[in-house]
Chain A
Amino acid sequence: MKVLVAVKRVVDYNVKVRVKSDNTGVDIANVKMSMNPFDEIAVEEAVRLKEKGVVTEIIAVSCGVTQCQETLRTAMAIGADRAILVETSEELQPLAVAKLLKALVDKEQPGLVILGKQAIDDDCNQTGQMLAALADLPQATFASKIEVVDGKASVTREVDGGLETIAVSLPAVVTTDLRLNEPRYVTLPNIMKAKKKQLDVFKPEDLGVDVSPRIKTLKVSEPPKRSAGIKVPDVATLVAKLKTEAKVI
């Protein structure tokens, strides 16, 4: 079974982003970029399925600017066999990415598509579900455990209040939650090997997909600042403040 894994290049999760002074967006020039953490978990899961003998080939896919090649090389260093970049400098929204991935699903016919549950830049949490809808596949979102048996995937999902397990027929789309696995570190020999692996580049036009944005960003602003608080010397003062000043208890 082939697996398609979608990875996104995002601002590294440790970076505290700044809103541009003209309110057109956040300043991401000269900021460290990395693979979206949920996508690392997706690649790791695909590699583990391959190690178990369930999966035969892992294809990593990314959509965006030329530099996304670095993200794909990282995916191949973790263990993906080859990679596809859909290159465009347009702003890509989840619907556009889902359409690009749908075109690649049609082309590659994977048995399973794994994505992260959300990207930490736009915080949308949409692409996996949208891909499942467009490709008319079942979906298993927010997965914390995946088992593939007899043409079905049994997936434990993190839902409000606890966990739920569903079974989906394959092919299916799965999105990863944090607790699915702990991604491995990439080793230097694997980084070197990844440089030799195949990386194909397409344009959205090659796939016949219109990627024009459907949502217009009018403004990006700083969140309202909290007014500075105070430090209290002891528990008694804290309780007094909460009772008389804040009146919350």
Chain B
Amino acid sequence: MTILVIAEHDNASVKGATLNTVTAALACGGDVHILIAGANAAAAAAAAAQIAGVSKVLHADAPGFEHGLAENVAAQVLAVASGYSHLVFPATASGKNIAPRVAAKLDVAQISDVTKVLSADTFERPIYAGNAIATVQSLDATKVLTVRTTGFDPAAATGGSATVEVLAAAADAGKSTFVGSEIAKNDRPELTAAKIIVSGGRALGSAEKFNEVMIPLADKLGAALGASRAAVDAGYAPNDWQVGQTGKIVAPQLYIAAGISGAIQHLAGMKDSKVIVAINKDGEAPIFSVADYGLEADLFVAVPELVAAL
């Protein structure tokens, strides 16, 4: 049994989500290989070869892979898929984009957001915004999975010594082209990898207040900034800060929710955090039902006080 992990990378290095995915792949049992499909991505392939537990790196290089277009990357995965029992993707925007395309071409079902590997064909995954956990068994010969990265520890990024095999690149499908991107500038820890997250909600009232109140706290704790959907929709915070069912799923050591009521869609994104702190002036807010420490107070007073006390 050999398992292929489809790496998420930026052509120069391997992204953190790949390391958690390798751990999940190792839990399935068997040899683990990694595919790097990129443009001038030799550095990423070399980095992948260092990951502990990986025995082989497949490296396919072509301009069409530069931005990870689904049609092109899926074609490359399909070109090597026949040798593998499992094709494992991180459940990131990129993994979710490509994995179902691969599964459908192979005429197999795909299992999304795996949080636990019970055996080579049986997995746990959350459904209904995390309000239920389904144990599912794949009846297909090839298992195509996406892995919820917060469900698995990252594999060590060094210590491995995999061989790198260069593949012939699959042809460009020619159906889609990359036009441009607007990546939010962020010098803080990445939201999904941060140990501490401070998250703000609608109660902050404006983008200015959001920055004025939340940034000092994040700076003090070396934390990543998150937001509820209400805060994002109101324009207080950028889209990619959104924590929840339809945003990022996070599980930091400490999650501080300020002015967030705690709708089920938000809780789905953060309730696996180790310690949750809620600051809200509404004592009845649902967030208090999951918070380890709740402070019923006006966040405009409490958060600056907290910054001062740290």
Contacts and interface: CB of A to CB of B under 8 A. Distances in A.
Interface of A: 11, 13, 16-17, 19, 26, 93-95, 98, 117-118, 120-134, 137-142, 144, 154, 157-169, 172, 177-179, 213-223, 226, 229-232, 234-236, 238-239, 241-242, 246, 248-249
Contacts of A162: 181-184, 238-240
A166 B135 contact: no
A13 B139 CA distance: 30
Contact of B294 (A17, A140, A144, A230): A230
Contact of B275 (A128, A157, A248): A248
Contacts of B180: 164-165
B71 A139 contact: yes
A16 B264 contact: yes
B183 A217 contact: no
Contacts of A132: 70, 101
B104 A98 contact: yes
A215 B111 contact: yes
Given A94-B100, A139-B101, A215-B137, A11 B128 contact: yes
B97 interface: yes
Contacts of A127: 100
A123 B254 contact: no
Given A94-B110, A123-B127, A216-B139, A133 B104 contact: yes
Contact of B177 (A120, A124, A166): A166
- Interface SS of B by simple majority: mixed
B109 interface: yes
B265 interface: yes
Q: Which 5 A-B pairs have the closest CB atoms?
A: A129-B100, A138-B175, A214-B109, A130-B104, A133-B104
A144 B109 contact: no
B277 to A, nearest CB: 7
Contact of B109 (A169, A215, A234): A215
Interface string B276-310: 11000001000010111111110000100110011
B122 A121 contact: no
Interface in B101-152: 101-105, 107-113, 122, 126-140
B79 to A, nearest CB: 15
A175 B141 CA distance: 28
Interface of B: 67, 69-71, 74, 92-94, 96-105, 107-113, 122, 126-140, 173, 175-184, 186, 192, 196, 221, 229, 233, 238-240, 245-246, 248, 253-254, 264-265, 271, 274-277, 283, 288, 290-297, 302, 305-306, 309-310
A118 to B, nearest CB: 8
A158 B175 contact: no
A57 B135 CA distance: 41
B228 to A, nearest CB: 12
B101 A235 contact: no
B101 A130 contact: yes
B131 A239 contact: no
B273 to A, nearest CB: 10
Contact of B135 (A93, A120, A154, A217): A217
Given A139-B70, A231-B296, A217 B136 contact: yes
- For B104, B109, B131, B253, which residue has the most chain A Cβ atoms within 10 angstroms? B104
Contact of A168 (B105, B126, B176, B192): B176
A232 B127 contact: no
- Interface SS of A by simple majority: mixed
A249 B254 contact: yes
B109 A93 contact: yes
Contact of B131 (A16, A164, A165, A177): A16
A140 B277 contact: no
B134 A220 contact: yes
A129 B94 CA distance: 12
Nearest to B109: A214
A137 B176 CA distance: 10
A126 B293 contact: no
8 contacts: A94-B110, A130-B110, A140-B176, A166-B69, A223-B133, A232-B295, A235-B295, A235-B297
A165 B31 CA distance: 37
Contacts of A217: 134-136
Contacts of B294: 229-232
A165 B179 contact: yes
A126 B182 CA distance: 25
B132 A19 contact: yes
